[in-house]
Structure 1
Amino acid sequence: MDTRRLLRTFATALGTAGLLVSGCSSGSSAPSASATGSAVAEELEPYYGQELRWRDCGVEGFQCTTMKAPLDYAKPGDGDVKLAVSRKKATGPGKRIGSLLVNPGGPGASAIGYLQGYAAIGYPAPVRARYDMVAVDPRGVARSEPVTCLTGKEMDAYTQVDQTPDDQGEVTALNDAFDAFANGCEKRSGTILPHVSTVETARDMDILRALLGDEKLHYVGASYGTFLGATYADLFPARVGRLVLDGAMDPSLPAIDVNRDQTAGFEAAFQSFAADCVKQDDCPLGTTNTSDASTALKKLFTDLDSEPAKTGETRQLTESLATTGVIAAMYDEAAWPQLREAISGAQRGEGSGLLALADSYYERDPSGTYANLMFANAAVNCLDLAPAFAGPAAVEKALPDFEKASPVFGRGFAWAALNCGSWPVEATGTPRRTEAEGAAPIVVVGTTRDPATPYMWAEALADQLSSGTLLTYEGDGHTAYGRGSDCIDTAINTYLLEGTPPKDGKKCS
């Protein structure tokens, strides 16, 4: 298992592979720096004034381009990063409102993949009619100078390392795996590694906003994308347009609290799954109560720790991969039937079902190639916050609290949070309240049984933001917009199209 504070929509994991950014020229645009709506520092004027040359992506209806941003905003003359951008222009009818930037989370998930694979197709038609749908892969992610750390074979081995160590030898092996991962990132991506923070990506978004000709940023961020959106609002409150932060994070928390809260979130999601499972005829965890279901799942993990299951390929289903597979299905209740079948197979010694779920989580394709999701995820997380744990002794001390938060997942989540302890670049971010004083109304969305971004985080962010308004979905799964609630979708659509936010505290089910 490797959670690494991975925060994204489950649809991203399943639906964004194989999308290309290529093609021929089809026009350009070059708004002046005045599109920022306020003064730009002289050393940044070349970036705000650059020309975007749009071209056909090779994906029907989409255009693509690249933009430049400073590698280091403190030293803009010392080099650039090239960021990939894609858009699908407003379809009409109705007057165009502007550009709507989207980000699915991660950190490390491809925003362009999300745009081309879902948002520009699956967002409500009235929204797509009046906005140019736009995405930029953040620095270090996917098509934007991606962070690379391990080869496919090395990553296969890494994902199978035991993350619930039972003795000192297994503790050493896990710590060595984290060291090797971090060293691989430094070796292969040392130049960009110190410059993939959320603050830097938010500043890149402001350059893009100006280049698109928009005085205000309109944005829908899911999961980690809410932290990115809130950071933007705090940096540029006067440039905030219509911001939706769905599946919100709490920027005021240190890493250990983030990890422990998320541990409790996945436990709550599993209990919801278990309550549903025991009512089904095909539940592999029993048909009595959630306590027995938890016991049965823990037994499966223990059995796999002793003897991994066959999968029909060279990789076996280890305890760590099985745990990751279960976690993957917690993001969306639509995956629960698949999870029941996968657990049942693993109990019979057939591990391919849970392995497939784990592979979707890691974005591993059948050829053994991994997207850079996990590499970028660690790079951003470890730069944004100081490590949750400096070493194994600190993890051991915290284990009781994590196991209290989740008897099923707590031990593994605690040890997974050790990953940043080996990081070669010192963290530049710190926990802080995010108020964005003076920003236009911002809609913060929380789901009551969200596993990855617990509901209390949405409550906290809405309270911190000076113009935050909380919209609640009483239900399961990660994030709420576009997941089947007419109440949620109507409230957000009205805000995006008319600028009228829902009443603070509005609840939907």
Structure 2
Amino acid sequence: MRDIRPKRRAAALGSAGVLVTATLISGAVAAPSASATAGARHGQDRADFGVTVAADRAARAGIDWQDCPADWGLEKPIQCGWVTVPLDYAKPFGKQIKLAVDRIGNTGTKAERQGALLYNPGGPGGSGLRFPRRVTTKAPVWANTAKAYDFVGFDPRGVGKSAPISCMDPQEFVKAPKADPVPDSEADKLAQRKLAREYAEGCYERSGEMLPHMTTPNTARDLDVIRAALGEKKLNFLGVSYGTYLGAVYGTMFPGHVRRMVVDSVVNPSREKIWYEANLDQDVAFETRWQDWQDWVAANDAAFHLGTTREAVQAKWLELRATAEKDPIGGVVGPAELTGFFQSAPYYDSSWVPVATVFSKYFAGDTQALVDAAAPDLSDTAGNATAENGNAVYTAVECTDAKWPTSWRKWDRDNSALHQNYPFLTWSNAWLNLPCATWPVKQQTPVNVQTGKGLPGVLIVQSTRDAATPYGGAVELHERFKGSRLITERDAGSHGVTSLVNPCINERVDAYLLTGKLDGADVTCAPHATPKP
């Protein structure tokens, strides 16, 4: 995966600015009472009936494929269409919403075709509509798979073209906060708590009808309706980052509907991790990968001149942050914007050189490169709307999916303790997720991810030093999905592995998608090539 989710500028929350996943994640859940469990089961039964009704309806209707609208940026021969789903699966004959889908046909012969491969890039809040462009742009890693499959993308509910939600005015959302996300005082924390509460209220004011239904189980139900609309008896699915959790929930809810499933860079599906604890785990992993990048910058001091040790590079980073806190660089880049820009380096190896180059230029006297890279672009109206929508969906799904701590004392204690040893992202991540503490709609109990009857072997791919989705998540899903296989990319940490060039991984993904073949045991691969300045 390469930056498939919208760039998230959390200016309204005073947090990190561009938050580059896929999954900044979160909430420990108390065991429900017997009566609550019975009530939930009744609602579940109605939703199960609802998805059957919706899927049958979609199978009859099919999809009216047309050339894509010009402003969608999807060239021919990609085609676009719509799939209708209930807003509330417990009321399948009630209000309906339309989901945007697109496709490109398989590049091989009719005999080679194996159906549709659906894709989710993560977030939650990422659009999958660019997936068919892997064929039109001739991405070599996907050439073999493209011979056998139609590549199908979609905007999940609430995202982009699919009944999009919003929590605040997009232009206000991207305006630079300039403030340091690391609080210096109780007053700073109080200000952030106020912003988080106002953001949650804004979500309800602007998108209140959608919020109770913005959950991963509902998106999994949507996925099954799309499968039916495509005329597919079983689903072939590729999920990255949050898309792995969507796949895990789908595989649990519809085990007999899965044909092939690849999950890449895995969210820990344990109920205890979704979502509060998962975000805390992420803070630790980000610090590790941040240090990996600093080591690389130091090893390439001949190119970047930022110091020959990790400590020297960190000192430059702290100097830059202190400067921006005292006086925003170019009047627009404060510590929040810096964190937003620099965090793409621990996310993706492909960002190592660009981020180090901008960093180096700043200390060589070129401040404009940093302003151009890190400042919000208020003139980009469409891009800002996408960013605001992505953040709204991210917040809505994570806050509604699970029960979050409501005690500020707990948030403060946990994040203050983590910040001592893992300062790079901890407070930014806390402010991003804090609206969940005052969320205005009922929070659900996460699905208990497990193997069900008919679930085939799932292929799990994960790097050991991934920052956004720490390695333990892949191990957890592997244990829960019996018969799955885990491919580990050791000593690597780029988020999203399957689109990188690493023959040890690429060949196994191809073999699985083309033949269903899994190795007899789990596999460990050497890392992909390290970036060169």
TM-score where L is the length of structure 1: 0.86
CA 1:106–1:367 in 2, change beyond 3 Å: closer, same or farther?
closer
* Corresponding position of 1:265: 285
Instruction: Report the CA distance between 1:200 and its aligned residue.
Output: 0.4
Residues 396-405 or 68-77, more deviating: 396-405
- Compared CA separation, residues 117 and 143, structure 1 to 2 (3 A): farther
TM superposition shift of 1:125:
1.4
Cα displacement string for residues 307-349 of structure 1 (whole angstroms, at most 9, x for unaligned residues): 2111xxxx61010110011112322212112111222345578
Distance 1:350 1:54 in 2: 49
What SS does the aligned partner of 1:110 have?
coil
Which one of the candidate residues 480, 484, 494 is aligned to 2:511? 494
* 1:237 matched residue in structure 2: 255
Rounded to whole Å, the distance in 2 between the matches of 1:161 and 1:496 is: 47
State the superposition RMSD in angstroms.
2.8
Q: Aligned-pair distance for 1:195?
A: 1.2
Tell me which residue corresponds to 1:370: 385
Aligned to 1:507: 524
Alpha-carbon deviations, 1:120-156, whole Å to 9, x = none?
Answer: 7425212111101101110000110111122233112
**Deviation of 1:48 (Å):** 4.0
Higher relative contact order (CA 8 A, sep 6+): 2
1:320 partnered with 2:336: yes
Aligned counterpart, 1:13 = none
The reply to whether residue 151 of structure 1 matches residue 169 of structure 2 is yes
Partner of 2:65: 54
From 306, 324, 329, the equivalent of 1:309 is 329
**Bigger Cα displacement from structure 2, 129-138 vs 180-189:** 180-189
1:199 aligns with 2:220: no
Partner of 1:111: 128
Matches of residues 8-23 of structure 1 in structure 2 within 5 Å?
Answer: 8=22
Per-residue CA shift, 1:288-312, capped at 9, x if unaligned? x2233334323322332222111xx
* One-letter identity of the residue aligned with 1:198: T
User: What is the CA–CA distance in structure 2 between the aligned matches of 1:294 and 1:162, rounded to whole Å?
Assistant: 17
**Contact kept in structure 2, 1:56 and 1:63, CA below 8 Å:** yes
324-333 vs 41-50, which moves further: 41-50
How far apart are 1:476 and its partner, in Å? 2.7
- Whether contact under 8 Å (1:70, 1:77) holds in the other structure is yes
Percent of aligned pairs sharing the same letter: 30
Structure 1 counterpart of 2:3: none
> Which secondary structure state, in structure 1, belongs to the residue aligned with residue 497 of structure 2?
coil
| Secondary structure, counterpart of 2:204 in structure 1 | helix
1:449-468 pair list within 5 angstroms: 449-468=465-484
Cα distance in 2, alignment partners of residues 368 and 433 from structure 1: 35
Q: Which residue of 2 aligns with 1:393?
A: 409
Provide the rounded CA distance (Å) in 2 between the counterparts of 1:363 and 1:61: 33
Distance 1:39 1:199 in 2: 13
- C-alpha contact (below 8 Å) 1:5/1:259 kept by paired residues: no
Which position in structure 1 is the counterpart of 2:307?
286
Contact 2:56-2:228 at 8 Å conserved across structures:
no
* Inter-CA distance 349–82: structure 2 relative to 1 (3 Å threshold): farther
One-letter code aligned to 1:46: R
- Pairwise CA distance, 1:116: 3.2
Judge conservation of contact 1:120–1:128 (CA < 8 Å) in 2: no
Task: Go from structure 1 to structure 2 and tell me whether the alpha carbon gap of 1:408 and 1:245 turns closer, same or farther (over 3 Å shift).
Answer: same
* Cα displacement (A) at 1:51: 3.1
| Partner residue in 2 for 1:7 | 21
Structure-2 change in CA distance of 1:39 and 1:97 (3 Å):
farther
2:80 pairs, out of 35, 53, 64, with 64
State the one-letter code of the partner of 1:107. P
Q: What's 1:131 paired with?
A: 149
Q: Residues 121 and 370 from structure 1, CA distance in 2 versus in 1: closer, same or farther, beyond 3 angstroms?
A: farther
1:380 aligns with 2:401: no
Question: Contact between 1:250 and 1:461, CA under 8 Å: does it hold in 2?
Answer: yes
The 3 A distance-change label for structure 1 pair 4 and 338 is closer
For residues 383 and 496 of structure 2, the distance between their equivalents in structure 1, rounded to whole angstroms, comes to 29
1:49 to partner: Cα distance: 2.7
CA change 1:291–1:194 in 2 (3 A) is same
**What amino acid does structure 1 have at the position aligned with 2:512?**
Y
Aligned residues: 474
CA-CA distance at 1:408 after TM superposition: 2.9
What amino acid is the match of 1:56?
D
Give SS of 2:93's match.
helix
Determine if contact 1:328/1:357 at 8 Å carries over to the other structure.
Answer: no
The answer for the alignment partner of 1:33 in structure 2 is none
Q: What residue number does 1:24 align with? A: none
**Displacement of 1:407:** 3.4
User: What amino acid is the match of 2:22?
Assistant: R
Listed as ranges, the gaps of 5+ residues in structure 1 are 10-37
Q: Distance in 2 between matches of 1:277 and 1:103?
A: 32
Shift of 1:44: 5.7
Cα shift readout 1:388-435 (whole Å, capped 9, x = no counterpart): x42543222113442255133334333433231232222224273433
CA contact (8 A) 1:115 1:134 kept: yes
* CA distance in 1: counterparts of 2:484 and 2:379, whole angstroms: 37
- What residue number does 2:496 align with? 479
1:184 to 162, 187, 202: 202
Residues 71-82 of structure 1 aligned to structure 2 (within 5 Å): 71-82=87-98
Equivalent in the alignment of 1:423: 439
Do structure 1's residue 96 and structure 2's residue 107 form an aligned pair? no
Q: Which amino acid aligns with 2:441?
A: V
**2-side partners of 1:498 and 1:124: how far apart?**
15
CA gap of 1:85–1:367, structure 2 versus 1, over 3 A, is: closer
Please tell me the residue identity of whatever aligns with 2:65. Answer: W
Q: 1:299 corresponds to which residue? A: 319
- 3-state SS, counterpart of residue 118 of structure 2: strand
Distance 1:159 1:231 in 2: 36
Normalised by the length of structure 2, the TM-score is: 0.82
User: 1: CA distance between counterparts of 2:310 and 2:169?
Assistant: 40
> Does the 8 Å contact 1:309/1:349 carry over to 2?
no
Partners of 1:317 and 1:352 within 8 A in 2: no
Q: How far off is 1:169 after superposition?
A: 2.5
* Deviation for aligned residue 1:223: 0.6
Q: Distance in 2 between matches of 1:438 and 1:214?
A: 16
Query: Partners in 1 of 2:450 and 2:421 — Cα distance?
Result: 26
Cα 1:126–1:250 change in 2 (3 A) is same
Distance 1:335 1:364, change over 3 A: farther
Task: State the shift of 1:358 in Å.
Answer: 4.8
Mapped partners of 1:107, 1:71: distance in 2: 18
Provide the C-alpha distance between the structure 1 equivalents of 2:443 and 2:379, rounded to a whole number of angstroms: 28
Offset, 1:118: 7.2
